[in-house]
Chains A and B, each alone.
Chain A
Amino acid sequence: ELKVEQNPLFLSMQEGKNYTIYCNYSTTSDRLYWYRQDPGKSLESLFVLLSNGAVKQEGRLMASLDTKARLSTLHITAAVHDLSATYFCAVDKENSGNTPLVFGKGTRLSVIA
């Protein structure tokens, strides 16, 4: 059974600080997804990582994928309040690239002044 584990589950960080969210998964998948969800809202796609060593950056967020370690990281640089949200990583259930996603439990990020 595919398991996707995120840590930390809760993160409170000060504005301007850096931090990393980790996502471990149990299957040999080379496709990993990061989503953002604001309270009461749907899921917004942030990054899609499609191969080992993939690195993508958007603003203050940078995601990377190490398929050998079955690990993805989401790095936050110089956090701002607008980044407060829940972040989910997700993996294809059957590593086919087009199957349903299995989500991690999410990391609830709160950026405080």
Chain B
Amino acid sequence: DTEVTQTPKHLVMGMTNKKSLKCEQHMGHRAMYWYKQKAKKPPELMFVYSYEKLSINESVPSRFSPECPNSSLLNLHLHALQPEDSALYLCASSLRTGTGFGYSPLHFGNGTRLTVT
């Protein structure tokens, strides 16, 4: 079982809906990530939070809004999505980010399968 928990597992939403994806870890990790994975494609980085601050935004459209309320939680707020946003959204965490701290592997959650209709 993964130590990174994502909810919901599946989500179907219309283009006018507002929904949120949630990610939780209790490993004491201080870096958390959102990746998007389309079918038969590799995961693509969306956002990185380090010590609850947004450190990387890979030019993601504003209809995706990340939030890190505390070191254990990561949310992805969704609004006015398009059908092409349908994908598997993966959350990951690592002990920390940055240089000089040694190796810190990523732990992935099981993902949320999002379908936009």
Rounded to whole Å, the gap between the CB of B88 and the closest CB of chain A is: 8
How far is it, in angstroms, between the C-alpha of A40 and the C-alpha of B40 when the chains are bound?
10
How far is it, in angstroms, between the C-alpha of A96 and the C-alpha of B101 when the chains are bound?
9
A101 interface neighbour in B2, B41, B98, B106, Cβ under 8 Å: B106
B97: Cβ under 8 A from any A Cβ: yes
Q: Which residues of B contact A97 (CB under 8 A)?
A: 99, 101-104
Of A45, A97, A100, A106, most buried by chain B (CB within 10 Å of CB) is: A100
Closest chain A residue to B101, Cβ basis: A98
B interface: dominant SS: loop
How far is it, in angstroms, between the C-alpha of A45 and the C-alpha of B107 when the chains are bound?
8
Closest chain B residue to A100, Cβ basis: B45
B90: Cβ under 8 A from any A Cβ: yes
The answer on a CB contact under 8 Å between A42 and B104 is no
How far is it, in angstroms, between the C-alpha of A99 and the C-alpha of B102 when the chains are bound?
11
Q: Do A99 and B110 contact each other (CB < 8 Å), given the known contacts A42-B2, A43-B90, A48-B105?
A: no
How far is it, in angstroms, between the C-alpha of A81 and the C-alpha of B95 when the chains are bound?
35
B residues 67-85 near A (Cβ < 8 Å) are none
A residues 27-79 near B (Cβ < 8 Å) are 31, 33, 40-43, 45, 48, 50
The answer on a CB contact under 8 Å between A104 and B42 is yes
B53: Cβ under 8 A from any A Cβ: no
7 contacts between A and B (CB under 8 A): A33-B105, A50-B103, A88-B42, A100-B45, A100-B56, A104-B42, A108-B40
New contact pairs (12) apart from A42-B109, A98-B98, A102-B45, CB-CB < 8 Å: A33-B105, A42-B2, A42-B111, A43-B43, A43-B108, A45-B105, A45-B108, A88-B43, A98-B97, A99-B97, A100-B33, A104-B42
